[in-house]
Structure 1
Amino acid sequence: MLRQTRPDTGSRKVVSHGTAEATGRKGKNSSKACSGCRRRKSKCDGGNPCSTCELYCDTCTYTQEQDGRRPAAKAYVSALEERVRHLEGLLNARQDPSGGAGEPHGAESHRTDGDEATQPFGPVDWRRHLPPELAEWDEELHEDLLARFFAYFNTWCLWVDEDSFRRDLALCLSSNPLAPSRTSFYSPLLHNAIIALACALSNDTRVSDRSAARACAARAKALLEDEGERPQLSTQQGLLLVGSYHSGNSLQGLGYLYSGIGFRMSQTLGLGIDCSPLLERGVITAAMKQQRTRVMWTAYVQDNYVGRNPSILRSTLELALPEIDPELDQHPWLGPANATEKKALPSFASSTFHWLCRLAIIEEHVLTAVYALRVNLYSAQTLNRISEIALDLETWASSLPISLRIAPQTIKPPPPHIILLNALYQFVVILLYRPYYIRHNAEMNSPLNDTAVKRCSSAATRIVALFELYQRSPGLRYAPISATQMAFGAATTHLLALVNAESAQQRKKAAELRDSTHACSRILREMGKGYTCALQTADIFDGLVEKWANPSPPADGDSPVSSAEPGETASAAAPVQLAAAQALDPHSDLARELLRLGWKPPTAASLPTALMPVPPSAQARVLNSALR
């Protein structure tokens, strides 16, 4: 019996002689108890409020905690029994030498918390989902390719969480019969996509002919239907990487196709929705929430690179910006190709990604304000928007942490993704002002036109300097695909400046700008050691320089490198040369498209009064520049 020891304050209710306690009748049984009765360890009638809490004038609340007194549901018991029978069958099959265990039905993990119930044991069969064409590979080469991907490519946009991927790779490819075939952090599609991209970053002769990369990409695409019906984070990540692979190989249509599927899959997975309520209810872990946020922001950043109007708008995302992980920032960065360096640098990878996402939001505003269809560049509304975006860019640059800034006098190269962040800022400046870049002697020059010339020229010069810093460590042949687009933006800006200087008879300035165009060509060709799209862009750019600026022969050491890789046949290099020729042929479809977009070739009588830039959409569709 409960003893009432609390003092009577006058607000307590007097126990009625008509209650169950007074009459000695047995109270009603209930399968749940309120928080107060649990704390008092007393019987609860399940009311709201219950009679006991009403007696003591306490707040009567019910929580989601599992009540041990409640009997288990029949469906739950049946499911447990079925699971026991299934596991017993697996054990019996494994003990039977005449029957293989095979892959357990339903072994694929569709849980959202990423915590696996099984642990890897035994050797890891890393070949299991890779194409048979890689039979001559050894584990050392496989590990080297993974290391190069995570050091050079992944740090730019944090495509994949390395620790989670490696952990689940060991789990899914172990000899554990209960191991899932894929998880939120590993899938066969993602595995093949990573290897396909990593082949471009390796100098090993076994991957130099690019046939291995093509086989991995084909295998990844073949797995799309297997994983697409019940996609996970790893499926979406793999599709984005497959899109990047095709873009790097000058297959822009396929690149846009597979990237677009990945963008749509982010909606299937609900990545744009704030999942904080799921975290509070314990449905997902904090690590999974962080990873979902990163994957969504990676898709958002890439959507601004594909060269078309953005399909993922910031206004449609409920997510906050990705949080900065101090532990990841302090993780040392040291590329496999630079392993001889004595001291590794802090990566600041998480901070770089955070500020990259901030910059991508501004880039979206540029694309929608300046490069939208039927936009009036000189309307009061557009000019006001340009002013707002310019202020946003300056605010971003002034707020950038010291650890991510690169001063013009910097000698020691920081981690490469920090260099790319600074280069992207300059590239967005070019995107904002290039439509207003006109010749010095045009009939109508507004203050904005003068500002555009200065800002674009300064940004292009800075991009070249940053890529020269990149070449010192780790080397432009290890740059991600998005660097190609930045280099091309700087190259065409220098070309416009060169045309202006020659038209104004500014010989000294023209000579300096000619050197800058040669430097841009060298940068693109160095990137072309990994990506054919960079070689193709360099060929097109060199052809434009020859037609527009009447260049003199390059200085010693500046001669363009041949587009064909060592051992590559003339027929393999022919498409690259053909694309350059089409860009210069006034009767080709490519030239007609360039003319429609405003790129007017000079005539013998005069040079054009305005050289309008090809927007990012045309670069992707016409000039075959890098998508990402």
Structure 2
Amino acid sequence: METGEATATPAPRGTGRSGPRASLACMNCRQRKIKCRMTDPNSAACHSCRSLDLPCIVNKDGDRRKAGSRQHVAALQERLDYLESYIANQNAAAADSSSAFPSNVGPPPMGVHMPSFDGSTASARRSSNLPDSQGSQSSPQSAMSNVNNLMYMDHDVSPGQALPGGQSRQADLGRLTPSSDKETNRLQLDEAYGGPRFYGPTSQAHIHRQSVPVESEEHATHDEGLNIDSTPLRTAIFSTYWKIQPHSIVMVDESLFLEGREGRRRSEYYSTFLEDALLASATRMSTSGGVRALGPKFVERAKAAIADELERPNTATLQAFLLLSDFEATRGRDRLGYLYCGIGCRLVFDLGLHESCADLVSRGKMAPHEAMWRHTVFLGSYVYDKLWSLYTGRPGTIPIATVDVAHSRALASGWLGPASLDPWVRLSSDISEATDILNGTSPLNDEAKERLVRLDETIQRRPENLPLELMLNKDRVSDLPPSAYSLHIQFHGIRIILHRLLYKTATHQAIESPSDADHRNFSLEHSRAIMYENATQIAQLVSVYQQIFGIEQVITIMLDNSYVAAVVLVSHLLRVGQMDPVPPGVDRDMNRLRALADLLSKAQKHYPVTVRMRFSLASHVENTPMAGIFGTFAHNTHEPQNATVTEVPSNIPAHARQTLPEGSAEIFQDFNAGRADMALFEDWGGDTGESIFQEMDMQNMLSWALSPHNTRTDLAFQ
């Protein structure tokens, strides 16, 4: 820093200057555009700065025509650009910011310095007047603090005030500032008990509707005269369970269970706790309403034994908790079911199911078939863990690496389990990877999206590598064995969920970067086509399964995937209703949707949670031509109604009436009422009043579709 009055020495006429043309002045004088004078050559401040009691700063490396060097200003501009990019990435998909973990967009690298920012552009610009040592070399912690301040700035901002880059603050704040906490996470207050709850990005909207009652009316009307301890009754229920268990994940070995039950003594694979949990699970599949009504009674018995079981847990304890978790899920108690599954999966490690039993077998302490069965239970627990993780969008308990090591060792030792279990394990690992990516990154960065795309390609190839007896011939779906239906349905279901989230990300980016519209539109169309294709496959599989085995043998895995497929088809049918002419195949898609609606309706007496699924779907097609297909809901009443709309709406244009396929009137979108494609279905709100789409342009429509759930609690499903 120069301490004397610094003026350039005049050059002789006719000769060039050897120094700069402008005088060297301090920063304050240059900003005020006054002459900088020093009263004392040895003084640390000029006259003006001394009078105003300001620091006198002189940058002798500047070009003397700007308040700071070009290099310094360029560095500051680069940091501002970085900051704006960071904020845009943080908020581009705010409604999808459902992660419980740190965002993939971390703090700036150590070598990147970011300016202080107090909410106004002017203060940021003033920081450029300080040398790097004072103004720009902030620590990563302080830099992140400044970023957080910027993200939530919503005060002291004038409408239309300019931002760097020529954008207005009024327009940009919608992008930079979350309008509410709900747009940045899925932390919700429990409707029934209060307190926060977390649902991740793979969860479905229906599990958020805790205010919708799901208890079956059969409990009070059909169980009179049935003795819960009747031997013939229990024998019949056991028979149902052993018959249907192979259709899903095998968790209980019939021979080991009955061997322990014959002696009526607690053993490693039998207990009254497990028996009651198994009986409760099997009652759901009965054709008798009286037997189904006994399910909660068996569960209450099992719950009474939990404390004792946890004092001395064994494999039967683990199995019982997993069966209870499934039962509670199907009556809409996902929180309890999730916790039961968590207890069971923790017991995996307590009981050492992930470890080799070779030494115990060699010493005669364990039979070989028992060692093999322990591994089967371990793998079944892993599948339960990952399906619950997918269902709730929450992290799982059992690491993939643990399963990889244990399963490779078991296969090398000659383990042979149910034919469908090994494919289920591989698919569950794919599900685990997907939930880890989605829970760990929000919004999705390019690396995360690439990982999801590669994962989707892997899942797409899985069916091609199945054992021959499990492979699907699309022309002969009915040839599938019972155990293969749920596996193929889940293959399609997870692909829909992955592309739904990729679709949402691409939609956000299309709004943020209109210049890249062609690429984004391709991504949107690609994901939309994949979701539609997989939804039609799910509809076909569940329809064939129901026709062959009956509604009472529908298993829980099929329910949530039927909901996922139904939402895709609703979105598709609303979208094609906008087209002129209506494309062919609409009537076929409508029949597929009816098949899914029929399954959810008939399954309700077996699995009460479908009430919420139907409620969620019905609330989003109400006041559209599809209203009634999932039943109807009315204000403050529980009387059943099964109205179905079949008439062509009066406001459909004449040209559309002429081209509308016969029987497809339900799906033609009532565009005059303001409806639009609701392909971003996972975040549908529950508003069921007058059209919430009126007076919305497409960008606002997408913003609404991406908003968190807006559940109406004053409505009851019929």
TM-score by length of 2: 0.54
CA contact (8 A) 2:532 2:569 kept: yes
Alignment partner, residue 468 of structure 2: 402
Instruction: Give the drift of 1:232.
Output: 0.7
Q: Quick check: 1:523 aligned with 2:599? A: yes
Q: Give unpaired runs (5+ residues) of structure 1.
A: 1-130, 174-180, 330-348, 564-569, 575-594, 623-628
Alignment partner, residue 400 of structure 2: 314
Instruction: Give the drift of 1:612.
Output: 6.5
Report the Cα distance in structure 2 between the residues aligned to 1:517 and 1:144, rounded to whole angstroms: 35
Residue 282 of structure 2, aligned match among 193, 198, 207: 198
Q: Quick check: 1:389 aligned with 2:463? A: no
Q: Quick check: 1:278 aligned with 2:360? A: yes
Q: 1:448 to 1:279 in 2, by over 3 A?
A: farther
User: Within 5 A, what are the aligned runs for 1:210-609?
Assistant: 210=293, 212-306=294-388, 307=392, 308-317=394-403, 318-320=405-407, 350-369=418-437, 371-377=438-444, 379-410=445-476, 412-437=478-503, 444=517, 445-505=520-580, 507-508=582-583, 512-546=588-622, 550-552=624-626, 560=630, 598-599=683-684, 603-606=693-696, 608-609=701-702
Instruction: Give the drift of 1:309.
Output: 2.0
CA contact (8 A) 1:321 1:357 kept: no
SS at the partner of 2:474? coil
CA contact (8 A) 1:496 1:611 kept: no
**2:344 corresponds to which letter in structure 1?**
G
Report the Cα distance in structure 1 between the residues aligned to 2:356 and 2:627, rounded to whole angstroms: 58
516-525 vs 196-205, greater mean Cα deviation:
516-525
**1:159 corresponds to which letter in structure 2?**
M
Instruction: Give the drift of 1:429.
Output: 1.1
Q: Deviations over 1:529-551 (max 9, x none)?
A: 3100023211221221225xx12
Q: Deviations over 1:484-507 (max 9, x none)?
A: 111111111112222332344563
Alignment partner, residue 159 of structure 1: 251
Report the Cα distance in structure 2 between the residues aligned to 1:433 and 1:394, rounded to whole angstroms: 12
SS at the partner of 2:266? coil
Q: Deviations over 1:131-172 (max 9, x none)?
A: 99963664332112111112224541111111211222112x
**2:439 corresponds to which letter in structure 1?**
A
Q: Deviations over 1:59-103 (max 9, x none)?
A: xxxxxxxxxxxxxxxxxxxxxxxxxxxxxxxxxxxxxxxxxxxxx
Report the Cα distance in structure 2 between the residues aligned to 1:138 and 1:328, rounded to whole angstroms: 38
Instruction: Give the drift of 1:610.
Output: 7.1
Q: 1:147 to 1:511 in 2, by over 3 A?
A: same
Q: 1:287 to 1:136 in 2, by over 3 A?
A: closer
SS at the partner of 1:320? helix
Q: Deviations over 1:574-603 (max 9, x none)?
A: 9xxxxxxxxxxxxxxxxxxxx997436751
CA contact (8 A) 1:406 1:419 kept: no
SS at the partner of 1:319? helix
CA contact (8 A) 1:477 1:529 kept: no
Task: Work out the number of aligned pairs and report it.
Answer: 426
Report the Cα distance in structure 2 between the residues aligned to 1:194 and 1:322, rounded to whole angstroms: 30
**2:702 corresponds to which letter in structure 1?**
T
Q: 1:226 to 1:573 in 2, by over 3 A?
A: farther
CA contact (8 A) 1:217 1:242 kept: yes
TM-score by length of 1: 0.61
Instruction: Give the drift of 1:218.
Output: 0.7
Q: 1:223 to 1:503 in 2, by over 3 A?
A: same
**1:599 corresponds to which letter in structure 2?**
W
Across the aligned residues of Structure 1 and Structure 2, the Cα RMSD in angstroms comes to 3.7
CA contact (8 A) 2:427 2:491 kept: yes
Q: 1:305 to 1:405 in 2, by over 3 A?
A: same
Report the Cα distance in structure 1 between the residues aligned to 2:630 and 2:456, rounded to whole angstroms: 36
Bigger Rg, which one: 2
Report the Cα distance in structure 1 between the residues aligned to 2:331 and 2:440, rounded to whole angstroms: 28
CA contact (8 A) 1:423 1:463 kept: yes
Report the Cα distance in structure 2 between the residues aligned to 1:328 and 1:526, rounded to whole angstroms: 39
Instruction: Give the drift of 1:297.
Output: 1.3
Q: 1:596 to 1:522 in 2, by over 3 A?
A: closer
Q: Give unpaired runs (5+ residues) of structure 2.
A: 1-222, 642-679, 714-718
Report the Cα distance in structure 1 between the residues aligned to 2:707 and 2:269, rounded to whole angstroms: 39
CA contact (8 A) 1:133 1:215 kept: no
Q: Deviations over 1:489-530 (max 9, x none)?
A: 111111222233234456346555444333322121122231
Instruction: Give the drift of 1:467.
Output: 0.4
**1:143 corresponds to which letter in structure 2?**
T
Alignment partner, residue 84 of structure 1: none
Q: Deviations over 1:241-269 (max 9, x none)?
A: 11111111111121112122112222211
Q: Deviations over 1:166-203 (max 9, x none)?
A: 222112x2xxxxxxx21111111100001111111112
Instruction: Give the drift of 1:323.
Output: 6.6
Residue 150 of structure 1, aligned match among 242, 248, 251: 242
Alignment partner, residue 183 of structure 1: 267
Q: 1:402 to 1:322 in 2, by over 3 A?
A: farther
**1:476 corresponds to which letter in structure 2?**
I
**2:407 corresponds to which letter in structure 1?**
A
**1:311 corresponds to which letter in structure 2?**
T
Report the Cα distance in structure 2 between the residues aligned to 1:494 and 1:238, rounded to whole angstroms: 37
SS at the partner of 1:157? coil
CA contact (8 A) 1:156 1:353 kept: no
Report the Cα distance in structure 2 between the residues aligned to 1:408 and 1:260, rounded to whole angstroms: 37
Instruction: Give the drift of 1:322.
Output: 9.4
